[in-house]
């Protein structure tokens, strides 16, 4: 049986449509600039109506010491008064793709449905800016958000960090930096199918070779670009972290047809063994980012409902 046969039927429809127009998926485009253009074009073609319940503002804030400033997009529920919980949002894209704009619909939805101030960070991408530039940008943005909590109307005691795929790996890497540097106190983290292990040794990293969304060859390539020829540390590849104590309570979800399945399950188990309260959701039939490609599928709605519910409870 092909791994493709295990995909949820509703979620498979848009994936098959994508592969018809782009055989091999995005990773089949060798030039990274052209690949980014293709991804942005596809995301831009998805019409998402403006949400009148959410106000947005882009702002330039200090980057890491000695490095360029970074851009953040701030989302706030319209008409909300008083202090709200905060969600620091890190976009995905394998450390080489993605943008704040591309994940604007998801950040908007979290702001609206959770009732939180969301700050989404535009970090530098590899291969032009290999590790540690992306995670240091993410950490700088988090420090800015925490320092400016009063102005943002954010309760610093109800601050969560969220990211999917590369954003999930950066979520954990940023949380590790915050722990090790005595930085902002995080009350919760939600790394979604996080990209956390550069070694590519798990069974699932060998199984997922022809799904068309983040297959093995593309993951190996992305890690090589991200690391820039250097050895990975725990902030680049959190699966390498020896000590997971002191991290915030976590929610991790991943699909059974996702290359990151086994590294994410193993990481969640280690969090539990360390005593970190951890929700682990393994979604049968879900491939990498299926809920983004097939948002109307029943499986996708269940995935998002579980995330939103858990964020609400964590930040109550």
**Active centre residues (catalytic):** 165, 258, 288
The pair of structure tokens assigned to 286 is: 């879900």
User: In whole angstroms, what is the distance from residue 4 CA to residue 9 CA?
Assistant: 10
Report the relative pairing of strands 250-257 and 278-287 from DSSP bridges: parallel
Report the 10 Å Cβ neighbour count for 306: 15
Phi, psi angles (nearest 5°) of residue 25: 80, -175
Hey, how many other C-beta atoms are within 10 angstroms of the C-beta on 155?
18
Say how far apart CA 172 and CA 248 lie, in whole Å. 10
Instruction: For residue 67, list its beta bridge partners.
Output: none
Cβ neighbours of residue 23 closer than 8 Å, sequence gap 6 or more: none
Question: Which tokens is 161 given?
Answer: 């960090």
Residue with tokens 């990293």: 205
């Amino acid at each position: 049986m092909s791994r493709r046969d295990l995909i949820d039927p509703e979620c498979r429809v848009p994936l098959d449509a994508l592969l018809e127009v782009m055989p091999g998926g995005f990773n089949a485009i060798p030039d990274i600039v052209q690949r980014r253009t293709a991804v942005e074009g596809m995301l831009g073609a998805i019409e998402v109506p403006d949400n009148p319940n959410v106000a947005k503002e882009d702002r330039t804030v200090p980057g890491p010491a000695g490095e360029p400033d970074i851009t953040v997009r701030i989302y706030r529920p319209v008409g909300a008064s008083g202090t709200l919980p905060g969600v620091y949002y890190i976009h995905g894209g394998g450390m080489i793709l993605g943008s704040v704009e591309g994940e604007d619909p998801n950040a908007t939805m979290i702001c609206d449905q959770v009732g939180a101030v969301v700050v989404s960070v535009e970090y530098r991408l590899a291969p032009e800016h290999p590790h540690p530039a992306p995670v240091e940008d993410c950490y700088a943005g988090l420090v800015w958000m925490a320092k400016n909590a009063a102005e943002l109307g954010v309760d610093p005691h109800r601050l969560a960090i969220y990211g999917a795929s590369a954003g999930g790996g950066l979520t954990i890497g940023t949380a590790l930096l915050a722990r090790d540097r005595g930085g902002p106190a995080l009350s919760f983290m939600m790394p979604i199918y996080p990209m956390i292990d550069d070694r590519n040794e798990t069974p699932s990293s060998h199984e997922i070779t022809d799904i068309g969304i983040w297959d093995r060859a593309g993951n190996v390539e992305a890690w090589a670009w991200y690391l820039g020829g250097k050895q990975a540390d725990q902030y680049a590849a959190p699966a390498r972290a020896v000590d997971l104590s002191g991290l915030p309570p976590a929610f991790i979800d991943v699909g059974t047809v996702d290359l990151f399945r086994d590294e994410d399950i193993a990481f969640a188990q280690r969090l539990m063994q360390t005593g970190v309260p951890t929700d682990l959701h393994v979604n049968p039939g879900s491939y990498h980012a299926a809920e983004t490609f097939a948002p109307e599928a029943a499986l996708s709605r269940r995935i998002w409902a579980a995330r939103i519910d858990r964020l609400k409870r964590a930040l109550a």
